[in-house]
């Protein structure tokens, strides 16, 4: 077998030309099929990048059908003590931040391991070049400048960078990239961008005076990055402004840091507004820059919309400049007002490997500059399928989370015995307590114990003829809200009593969900409607007023499905979504009640059993079905969604997301499953330990670095996995 070092395809021994990319298989492009596998898994093809402490290789993952990956190797031997410290800090920083991030503009980490003299990262391989290289292509008239880009292309790049920076800045705590520059941005041939080199990125630390060590690139780094103050998201805003100025002017900011000449660009809609925005972004005084990247993103979108409509921001019509349209050899399609890279169905991934893919060799410098790149058609919101596993696994991909520790390979199982059959269980926001509700509407609060893992702390009864079918903690953990078909109750944990709330509701209740940040909640009806309530006095959680009602004009028949989760807030709280009895997902704007989208679901005779928004990604909805399918739906582009099949026809009954690692735990009618979003083309895995119950009704997860999962089965016990 002869492997092409250009695209990784396996060819016969007699082949002289690669069947996939038509490159020659002679000379330096021929891989040694008998070479020893790295980590008993990865066949290194060729070195394609190098840096201060290591190198980057194109490689094949032999356990994933020869999937092309990038392997970053850090050399420890021969380094000075200070260099070892720098290499260690950069490696661990990149591992932790990338493993904890799930975003279409951030490369995925698939695996990491060590040997006595090296550290390794296995990463997503993406075909492309740095934005720095792109700006210098076919441009040799002046070594001190770069070529300028068309306005629509600049706006498209700005929208993509705002999207990923907003994702980083809204993490808790915020992640500051600190080194936004053309050399740290990869661009595919389709114009899709990826942030690389997280080696100096850091998490914001409230109360800290300044950064431990000043880092940054001259010309793009904000003044506060030189040790004067702690960097905040406004430092990234400065860097983005410097970059946008360069794209429009062709002036390299590193030649004269902190000095930006007026752009004075005229003749096209939006240039004046964009120049004004850039000027505020590169203000030396951080307090004079826009407060958030979200504000910048909104202005960029406004300019894009203005250009699409051919009008100015103030509504005065303008005549389009005929020369401003994108045409000729550099033209691309920039019609999307909001950049959302589409996902691909798993069937397309197999076909994609057969395509002829043109690839480039990319030299990437720096201790942590190790992102290699693959065609953007393979970049998906969640390109995973499911397969079962058993017990301890050998050689499995390591999934990362915020602590940088490896994923859990072995699970222990135990039970907490109770007096009555338990229906619901939910962890408190701090993860130190949990509430359990039994079939008699008895609410029990459990907390970490000194003798047992959990001990019962308090208990009281909710007087209702209807069973409680949903329970939610208030955000600060001081109170609970319980839901029956006819009533919402405020559960006072101090006086241990249930207080029925007076809410303006006209339909049987399905569930209650808190707003991500505000003192508001939604109540969904079993007809698919949503009512949004806000506190009259945030200090008194017993008085609420109706803020908005979202409902279809045509009344819907009541749903017969279980009401555990049939409505949800978006991750940022701007939209709400609910299920209709016709197995459709409806999305409304929360503030205005405007119905913006209906997503019909083709379920082959099944029904939707679960709905929630994916935390950390405002574009993705999680939908479970009675036929053992978990859908990850890009609601802005529903056609680019993922269909993830569980083994067999098992009903999805509840889903819990472990935020430090973004794993999804799925409770089904036949056991508990876990899905690791960073595990490449790995499957959903069943937690198989002795005596695991089948019919899981509800689950909840907590933990700082490793997840602890609780579940109920309608029996006299609460299940625990850790």
| C-beta of residue 54 within 8 angstroms of C-beta of residue 72 | yes
Percent of the chain with pLDDT over 70: 72
**Please, are residues 233 and 204 in contact by the beta-carbon 8 Å criterion?**
yes
pLDDT at 690 over 70: no
Sheet holding 540-550, edge to edge: 509-514, 520-525, 530-537, 540-550
Is 554 part of any known ligand binding site?
no
What are the pLDDT digits (tens) for 489-543? 999 888 888 999 999 888 888 889 988 888 899 998 887 889 999 988 877 888 9
pLDDT of 565: 63
Q: Exposed, middle or buried, 277 (CB in 10 Å: 0-12/13-18/19+)?
A: buried
CATH 1.10.510.10 residue ranges for the chain: 139-347
Between CA 377 and CA 353 the distance in angstroms is 11
Burial of 178 (0-12, 13-18, 19+ CB in 10 A): buried
Q: What is 2-124's CATH number?
A: 3.30.200.20
pLDDT at 381 over 60: no
Of 236-250, 340-354, 420-434, 708-722, the range with the lowest mean pLDDT is 340-354
**pLDDT tens-digit readout, 64-112:** 888 888 898 888 777 777 777 777 777 777 777 777 778 889 888 889 8
- C-alpha to C-alpha distance for 318 and 320, rounded to whole angstroms: 6
Class at the top of the CATH hierarchy for domain 139-347: mainly alpha
Where are the CATH 3.30.200.20 domain residues in the chain?
2-124
Enclosing H/E stretch for 157 = helix 151-169
Q: With the CA atoms of 539, 540, 541 and 545 taken in that order, what torsion angle do they form, in degrees rounded to the nearest 10?
A: -110
What pLDDT shows up at residue 433?
92
Chain segment 590-634, per-residue pLDDT in tens: 888 888 888 888 776 678 888 888 887 777 888 888 888 888 887
Q: What is the DSSP letter of 627?
A: T
Q: Is the pLDDT of residue 332 over 60?
A: no
For 276-290, 307-321, 538-552, 669-683, which range has the lowest pLDDT when averaged over its residues? 307-321
Quote the mean pLDDT of the chain.
74
State the average pLDDT over residues 465-474. Answer: 90
* Greatest mean pLDDT range, 150-164, 226-240, 248-262, 366-380: 150-164
Strand partners, 633: 621
* Contact yes or no for 91/45 (Cβ under 8 A): no
* Per-residue model confidence as pLDDT tens digits over 245-286: 999 988 999 888 888 988 866 667 788 889 999 999 999 999
How many CA atoms within 13 Å lie on the side-chain side of 203? 13
- Poorest-confidence range of 10-24, 25-39, 536-550? 25-39
| Residue 138: band (very low, low, confident or very high) from pLDDT cuts 50, 70, 90 | low
In this structure, the dihedral spanned by the alpha carbons of residues 280, 283, 286 and 287, taken in order and rounded to 10 degrees, is: -50
């Amino acid at each position: 077998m002869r492997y092409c070092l250009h695209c990784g395809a396996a060819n016969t021994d007699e082949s002289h030309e690669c069947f996939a990319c038509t490159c020659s298989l002679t000379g330096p492009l021929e891989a040694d099929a008998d070479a020893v596998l790295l980590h008993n898994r990865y066949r290194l093809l060729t070195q394609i990048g190098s840096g201060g402490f290591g190198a980057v290789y194109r490689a094949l993952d032999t356990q994933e059908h020869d999937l092309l990956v990038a392997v970053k190797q850090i050399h420890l031997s021969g380094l000075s003590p200070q260099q070892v410290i720098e290499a260690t800090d950069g490696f661990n920083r990149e591992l932790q931040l990338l493993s904890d991030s799930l975003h279409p503009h951030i490369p995925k980490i698939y695996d990491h391991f060590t040997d006595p003299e090296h550290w390794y990262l296995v990463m997503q391989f993406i075909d492309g070049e740095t934005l720095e290289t792109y700006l210098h292509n076919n441009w040799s008239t002046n070594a001190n400048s770069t070529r300028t880009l068309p306005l629509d292309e600049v706006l498209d790049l700005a929208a993509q960078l705002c999207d990923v920076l907003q994702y980083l800045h809204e993490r808790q705590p915020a992640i500051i990239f600190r080194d936004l520059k053309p050399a740290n941005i990869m661009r595919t041939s389709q114009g899709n961008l990826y942030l690389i080199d997280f080696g100096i990125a850091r998490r914001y630390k409230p109360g800290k005076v300044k950064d431990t060590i000043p880092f940054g690139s001259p010309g793009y780094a904000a003044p506060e990055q030189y040790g004067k103050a702690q960097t905040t998201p406004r430092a990234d805003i400065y860097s983005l402004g410097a970059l946008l100025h360069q794209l429009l002017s062709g002036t390299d900011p590193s030649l004269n840091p902190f000095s930006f000449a007026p752009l004075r660009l005229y003749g096209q809609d939006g240039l004046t507004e964009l120049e004004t925005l850039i000027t505020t972004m590169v203000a030396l005084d951080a307090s004079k820059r826009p407060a958030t990247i979200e504000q910048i993103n909104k202005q960029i979108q406004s300019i894009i919309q203005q250009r699409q409509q051919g009008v100015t921001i103030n509504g005065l019509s303008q005549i389009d400049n005929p020369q401003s349209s994108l045409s000729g050899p550099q033209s691309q399609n920039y019609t999307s007002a909001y950049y959302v890279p589409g996902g691909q169905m798993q069937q397309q991934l197999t076909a994609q490997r057969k395509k002829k893919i043109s690839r480039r060799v990319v030299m990437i410098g720096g201790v942590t500059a190790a992102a290699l790149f693959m065609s953007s058609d393979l970049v998906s919101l969640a390109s995973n399928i499911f397969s079962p596993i058993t017990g301890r696994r050998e050689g499995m991909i390591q999934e990362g989370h915020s602590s940088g520790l490896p994923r859990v390979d072995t699970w222990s199982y135990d039970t907490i015995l109770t007096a009555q059959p338990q229906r619901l269980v939910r962890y408190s926001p701090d993860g130190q307590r949990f509430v359990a509700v039994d079939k008699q509407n008895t609410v029990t609060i459990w907390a970490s114990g000194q003798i047992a893992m959990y001990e019962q702390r308090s208990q009281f009864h909710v007087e209702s003829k209807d069973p409680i079918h949903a329970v939610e903690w208030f955000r600060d953990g001081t109170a609970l809200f319980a839901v029956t078909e006819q009533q919402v109750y405020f559960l006072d944990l101090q006086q241990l009593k249930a207080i029925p709330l007076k809410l303006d509701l006209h339909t049987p209740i399905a569930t209650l969900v808190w707003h991500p940040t505000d003192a508001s909640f939604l109540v969904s009806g079993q007809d698919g409607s949503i009512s949004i309530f806000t506190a009259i006095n945030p200090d008194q959680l017993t008085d609420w007023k109706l803020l908005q009602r979202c409902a279809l004009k045509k009344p819907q028949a009541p749903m017969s499905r279980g009401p555990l989760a049939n409505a949800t807030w978006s991750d940022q709280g701007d939209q709400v979504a609910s299920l209709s009895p016709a197995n459709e997902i409806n999305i409304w704007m929360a503030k205005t009640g405007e119905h913006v989208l209906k997503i019909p679901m083709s379920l082959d005779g099944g029904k939707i059993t679960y709905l929630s928004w994916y935390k950390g990604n405002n574009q993705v909805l999680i939908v479970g079905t009675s036929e053992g399918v978990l859908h990850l739906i890009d609601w802005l582009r529903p056609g680019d969604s993922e269909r993830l099949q569980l083994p067999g026809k098992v009903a999805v009954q509840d889903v819990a997301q472990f935020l430090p690692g973004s794993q999804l735990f799925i409770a089904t009618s036949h056991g508990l499953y876990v899905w690791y979003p960073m595990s490449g083309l790995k499957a959903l895995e069943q937690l198989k330990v002795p005596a695991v119950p089948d019919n899981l009704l509800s689950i909840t997860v907590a933990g700082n670095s490793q997840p602890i999962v609780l579940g109920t089965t309608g029996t006299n016990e609460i299940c625990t996995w850790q």
